[in-house]
Amino acid sequence: MRTQDGKEEVFGPFNPPERPFAEVAWVGEGVGYQIFPERFYNGDPGNDALALETDEYRFNQVWQRSSGPKPHLSHWSDPPSPLHCCHQYFGGDLAGVLAKLPYLKALGVSVLYLNPIFDSGSAHGYDTHDYLKVSPKFGDKSLLRKLLDEAHRLGMRVIFDFVPNHTGLGFWAFQDVVRRGPRSPYWNWYFIKRWPFLPGDGSAYEGWWGLGSLPKLNTADPGVKRYLIEVAKYWIRFGFDGVRVDVPGDVLNPHAFFKEMRAELKAIKPDAYLVAEIWQRDPSWLRGDEFDSLMNYAIGRDILLRFAKGGSLALYNARRALADLARVYALYPEAVAGMGFNLITSHDTARLLTELGGGGLKDVPSPEARARQRLAAAMLYALPGLPVTFQGDECGFTGERPADPPHELNRYPFQWEKCHGETLAFYQELAGLRQELAALRSAVFRTYFGEGHLLAFFRGEPGEGEVLAAFNSGVEAATLPLPPGGWRDPLEGRTYRKEVAVPPLGFRYLLHLGR
């Protein structure tokens, strides 16, 4: 590949997989949405108190001996407490997700990604207590069945969140180790440094990131590996359409583990969608024998977010952004690009509007910050693959991730009555454009223009029907020279030739009408 400044970049050599894999067709056709169930919508207040009955505090003897705050319930709009991250419960549940499926349908959503819904000790759910049980605070299997059936009836696919690297303190195998020590048949499922110990004491066993609340599983143990893979198979058979795997790079012998998992899941459901939480570009996971996609933070945050922030051209201009996009799509096979799990923000980042200058949870965003969010979203929806929005970003909510308590303010409950109508309508419009313009749902990406604040690329096969997507991160209008032929803006209903003005902090999707 030759860059715009004439430098040559070499990619490869590539080693084609023994079995080249095909794109999971329904992924790139759709629009994705991430739900953090505990903070989405409270559809059944009757199960709220069950959160306290399963919380980590019941198992964490170190915490029980401390004088710190304890898990508690809150009303939906109560202020964040010091335990906001993990043990302040607001009552969101599966009944709430079910109730809001019509809202998601109107938003154009066709793929739902649910953060952990299985029995756990926290609001976030990444400390599993029972992999085969729905968290009582969220509902039960019969309600989950109803949710999946209704989502499928509405044309939506649903992906579950799977945590194979570590468990919570209440997981039955860990509790057996606590009670029986080396006599437990599950002793080798963990990395115990001394026994007896108090659950929650991270110095007595290995925990994820050293956390005593998240004891690490020994996935090199055949029993652990078989148990976890059977869990994933169970939920695919139950009716889920795919799985997002938490921190797969931290699993022991990860490539061998996920090759085996993929083979067994695809044998059950060939079009199951497998996504890895890998934040950087890394094609080693995408050779057709492990995952279908990574969570593409490397595109959404490293490229789109940086470009949408605007600012000094010396820091990150359109030429650099276009070159970075070209590198990504030169690195990945077209099938991988076509089913990319593309996102800018999630439960693990600040909210999109906050990232783009909109302020924190209590602040009022400026018109420029809102315009930059629209610009970033328009770029996300124009890429090959699946654009994924974190709940509430489509409503223009803010939320930072402060270092001091209360943490994770990006996860504050979805304040439905405060949804910003103009932003919501914009996201609905983007979903409509993806349905109207077939090229936006293809896997084909080609660069076109990158100068100053103006960036443009082609989508779809060359010729009639392809789309030229253009984006301006500057505060003044910019003129884009057009390729030969007529180019229609579907939002305006107007056709352009030779050149077109791209509005400040704006975008255009232009449909090629032919010569």
pLDDT above 90 (res 1) = no
16 CB-near residues (< 8 Å, 6+ apart): none
Per DSSP, the residues of 118-186 read EEESSSS--SEEEEEEE-TTT--HHHHHHHHHHHHHTT-EEEEEE--SB--TT-HHHHHHHHHGGGSTT
User: What is the predicted pLDDT for the residue at 129?
Assistant: 98
> Chain-wide mean pLDDT for the chain?
95
> What distance in Å separates the CA atoms of residue 402 and residue 405, rounded to the nearest whole number?
7
pLDDT at 11: 54
What average pLDDT score do residues 90-118 get?
98
Tell me the per-residue pLDDT of 155-166, one tens digit each, with 9 for 90 and over: 999 999 999 999
The SS3 assignment for 514 reads strand
Rounded to an integer, what distance in angstroms lies between the CA atom of residue 16 and that of residue 259? 16
0.75 surpassed by pTM: yes
Alpha-carbon distances of 445 from 11, 145, 380, 441, 448, rounded to whole Å: 17, 38, 13, 11, 10
Rounded CA separation 478/449 (Å): 12
Lowest mean per-residue pLDDT among 18-22, 293-297, 342-346:
18-22
Whole-number Å distance between alpha carbons of 123 and 338: 33
Strands 386-390 and 32-35, how do they pair? parallel
What are 176-212's pLDDT values in tens digits?
A: 999 999 999 999 999 999 999 999 999 999 999 999 9
| Catalytic residue list | 246, 277
C-beta of residue 472 within 8 angstroms of C-beta of residue 507: yes
